[in-house]
Structure 1
Amino acid sequence: MNELSPANRILLIFNSATGQPGRLGTVLRKYGYEFDIRRPGEGDALPDDLSAYHLVVVFGGPMSANDDDLGNVQAIMEFLPKVVASNALYLGICLGAQMMARHLGAEIEPHPEGLTEIGYYPVQATEAGQDLFPDEMMVYHWHSEGFGLPAGAELVATGSVFPHQAYHIDERIWGIQFHPEVDDETHERWLANSAAKTDRPNGQDPDQQRAGRAKYDAAFGAWFERFAAKVLVKDRAPAQLGCCD
């Protein structure tokens, strides 16, 4: 892999018309990054040249990484080789992690027993991930498919329902199955728009999810701040704001 880019811009790619950076945006803004938001499903083109970007983030969405008939999936899958060939860091969240895994040759499949993870479920650090994850942590999920582990990837977090929860390649390409970006506003929007989907096998209903959020989200959010500082930001110091900013 190439050395990392020193650029100050972050490319945020959404698979829905309403997706927002949420907690991820709140955390990374502290370091002075500028965001370039693209929604390929709404007609936004994806850049050919990534030299101006420090990080590319592909967020989740309700579709499958195998849905080649959808314009956003096709556009992102055609874009990912440029990411791999670039100097930019990559973070795939849920669908974004599955898309990159698929591009790198892994299978994206539903659980063999039809189970989902919709709500709060535990993940565990692997031996390789002990510097990044606690032994066990409750995280927020919303997915019915999982990714295989791409060739050359190192698994850093696992789970009992979907064993592949987080991976990296050369500490530059990262994929996580869960959703650290989901803040309170995002969570309520998802529940309002998709509450009917929570009755899928192993899913948690809205009341269960809200209870889980009240119990687990503070620790989950604190973990993401540490993860971002160590993995996404590296040694960059928080931006110094002036007296009137």
Structure 2
Amino acid sequence: MTEAVAIRHVAFEDLGSFEQVLRERGIGTTYVDAGQGRLLERVERRSPRLLVVLGGPIGAGETDAYPFLEEEVALIRARLSRGEPVLGICLGAQLIAAALGAKVYPAEAKEIGWGSVELSAAGTGSPVAELTTPVLHWHGDTFDLPAGATHLASTPVCRNQAFAVGRSTLGLQFHVEVLGAAIESWLIGHAHEIAQAAGVSVKEIRADTQRHAGLLESRSRRFLNRWLDGALA
């Protein structure tokens, strides 16, 4: 089986709907938890065909507090130099941007909750075009578009919501992998952040999840299959 390794920063931000897609394609998945020592070595010795860098409630630039982030950036940079597929979600996208030399910094406002993204011209011809339903946003940082990257999607709060580098590298600032059944874990795990975010409420996120999560799960499967067709070709 072709292996995918997912770097996980908090237990509830996992592969979600992506895990079933990978399994159906005969791709075994392994989680490697960040902050548990020798991250670079633990991933590299597996030589995975695909690396997925998941989200988390820390910033890509917080390397003084979380030194393992430097290992993640080094790992991503090494894979990019070899043309090996990397998919980054939220923090993962920020770390890809950092590995490519782009600046990562606090956004003008936190973006938390369900909302659509606007596709660029390039985005309409990319796998991201499958994501026409609202997606889950949960971030306070943003980043400059890396040199050589193709801009794919934006929102009024955050211009750089999705970017690609060739067919094998994709960064998504938003979450498309989240399962509706898992949202309570997010609401519990991010309770402090929700309380600090103006205009954001647990009840609203829960209600919007009930409205949008089912369709997103279907669209996210189509998105991932389409991206994998190109990235793993």
Whether TM exceeds 0.5 here: the answer is yes
Structure-1-length-normalised TM-score: 0.84
Q: Tell me the equivalent position of 1:40.
A: 34
Which structure shows the higher helix fraction?
2
Q: Tell me the equivalent position of 1:240.
A: none
Structure-2-length-normalised TM-score: 0.88
Q: Tell me the equivalent position of 2:63.
A: 68
State how many pairs are aligned.
Answer: 228
Check if 1:107 corresponds to 2:103. yes
The one-letter amino acid paired with 2:117 is V
For residues 175 and 229 of structure 1, what CA distance do their matches in structure 2 show?
16
For residues 72 and 185 of structure 1, what CA distance do their matches in structure 2 show?
30
Q: Which ranges in structure 2 are unaligned for 5 or more consecutive residues?
A: none
Greater Rg by CA: 1
The one-letter amino acid paired with 1:182 is V
Q: Tell me the equivalent position of 2:50.
A: 55
Give the direction of change, closer, same or farther, for the CA distance of 1:210–1:228 in structure 2 (3 Å limit): same
Q: Which ranges in structure 1 are unaligned for 5 or more consecutive residues?
A: 1-6, 237-245
For residues 8 and 134 of structure 1, what CA distance do their matches in structure 2 show?
25
Give the direction of change, closer, same or farther, for the CA distance of 1:184–1:87 in structure 2 (3 Å limit): same
Give the direction of change, closer, same or farther, for the CA distance of 1:153–1:106 in structure 2 (3 Å limit): same
Check if 1:214 corresponds to 2:230. no
* 3-state secondary structure, aligned to 2:133: strand
* 3-state secondary structure, aligned to 2:211: helix
For residues 28 and 134 of structure 1, what CA distance do their matches in structure 2 show?
17
For residues 198 and 164 of structure 1, what CA distance do their matches in structure 2 show?
23
For residues 137 and 103 of structure 2, what CA distance do their matches in structure 1 show?
19
Which residue of the other structure, out of 179, 185, 195, is the alignment partner of 1:183? 179
Is the Cα–Cα contact under 8 Å of residues 8 and 53 in structure 2 kept in the other structure?
Answer: yes
Q: Tell me the equivalent position of 2:19.
A: 25
Give the direction of change, closer, same or farther, for the CA distance of 1:203–1:37 in structure 2 (3 Å limit): farther
The one-letter amino acid paired with 1:206 is V
Give the direction of change, closer, same or farther, for the CA distance of 1:29–1:208 in structure 2 (3 Å limit): same
Check if 1:91 corresponds to 2:83. no
Is the Cα–Cα contact under 8 Å of residues 89 and 232 in structure 1 kept in the other structure?
Answer: no
Give the direction of change, closer, same or farther, for the CA distance of 1:16–1:75 in structure 2 (3 Å limit): farther
For residues 128 and 209 of structure 1, what CA distance do their matches in structure 2 show?
30
**1:45-69 deviations in whole A, cap 9, x for unaligned?**
3347478422110001111000112
Is the Cα–Cα contact under 8 Å of residues 12 and 58 in structure 1 kept in the other structure?
Answer: yes
Q: Tell me the equivalent position of 2:159.
A: 163
Q: Tell me the equivalent position of 1:3.
A: none
Give the direction of change, closer, same or farther, for the CA distance of 1:202–1:30 in structure 2 (3 Å limit): farther
The structural deviation recorded for 1:30 is 1.3
The one-letter amino acid paired with 2:200 is Q
* Moved segments of 4+, more than 3 Å: 47-52, 134-137, 199-203, 233-236
For residues 165 and 154 of structure 1, what CA distance do their matches in structure 2 show?
11
Identity of aligned residues (%): 29
What is the alpha-carbon root mean square deviation over aligned residues? Answer: 2.3
The structural deviation recorded for 1:232 is 1.9
